[in-house]
Amino acid sequence: MGLAIGLLSLAACSSSPVRTDGARKPGGYYLDDGPGDNPPANLEQIPDAQPRAEPIKASTARPYTVFGQTYVPMAQVAPYKARGTASWYGKRYHGQPTSSGEIYDMYAMTAAHPTLPIPSYARVTNLRNKKSVVVRVNDRGPFHSDRLIDLSYAAAYKLGIIASGRDLVEVEAIIPGDERQATAPPPSVQATNASIPGGSIPGAPVVVASPEPLEQEPAGAYVQLGAFATRQNAWSFLLRMRTELGWLSENIAMYGRDGLYRVHAGPYTDRDEATRVAERLEQSTELRPVIITR
């Protein structure tokens, strides 16, 4: 779920609900959303989510499109770190189903994210006040370029963003079994544009951890597996391809060019070699690869 209004069904993907923005009301929330009438008195003492290994819900791992933007969820828990704007959702969705099939509890430590596995766990750190919590990702959203994650009311309360409705955060996936991740906040960071690699737009989601820096492709023939408008979606797709295509994983990389983030396999010595790889992909997957020469 995202901090937005109006429940719509996603026709060509999973059963994830989608909302569209409404007018902002005083206090940072939208329309008739907001705090519950009788919130628990001990919100500050609600314990963080406790990371544990859980099977990924298959129906939430398929690519899907919302508002013309295609999202490629991560098929397994893997390293992920990004900075962007967190918002929250409350009583309007309290008691409604989430993408995981569970019922949303605004007083539980949960969150919605466009591409992190469902279910999975993440540490969210408020870059303004350095408060940090661990949440369980069990829903999809928010589907807006200016927001990275939607938090439950309880998680937002503990991070100090209830009144403002949103704040700049860092989101880091937790791999179950890594006790350091689950119990220790990440190092102090500065919430400035200068500290966000490649980030000049405040609040835009920016991935700050990847296996290699973006660069131009060296000369050769490539098999293009996908092209994306945002680095976050390209990175999620790359992780998925490296997981599902073990025989090809060492040759898959992400490159930035012409305003797009491209996931390519290669380079190959000539177009014929790239074509053989593309044909194998077409026979064994649902991909429709494209041959690119540089």
Q: What is the pTM of this model?
A: 0.58
Which residues are CB-neighbours of 199 under 8 A, at least 6 positions away? 83, 193, 206
Q: What is the dihedral of CA 256, 259, 260, 261, to 10 degrees?
A: 30
Residue 21 scores a pLDDT above 60 = no
H or E element at residue 274:
helix 271-284
> Residue 230: pLDDT above 50?
yes
Chain CA centroid to CA 69, Å: 13
Q: Give the CA dihedral 2, 150, 243, 177, nearest 10 degrees.
A: -140
Enter the DSSP assignment of 261: E
pLDDT band at residue 154 using 50, 70 and 90 as cut-offs = very high
Domains of the chain: 5-207 (2.40.40.10), 221-293 (3.30.70.1070)
pLDDT for the residue numbered 26: 38
The CA distance from 235 to 172, in Å, is 14
pLDDT score of 146: 76
Is 50's pLDDT higher than 90? Answer: yes
- 161 vs 145, residue with greater confidence: 161
| DSSP H or E segment with residue 206 | strand 206-207
User: Quick count: other Cβ atoms within 10 Å of Cβ 139?
Assistant: 28
Give mean pLDDT, residues 91-95: 73
Q: pLDDT tens digits for 231-263?
A: 777 887 888 888 788 889 888 988 887 777 889
Q: Residues 89, 99, 147, CA angle at the centre, nearest 5°?
A: 45
Q: Per-residue pLDDT tens for 61-71?
A: 888 888 878 88
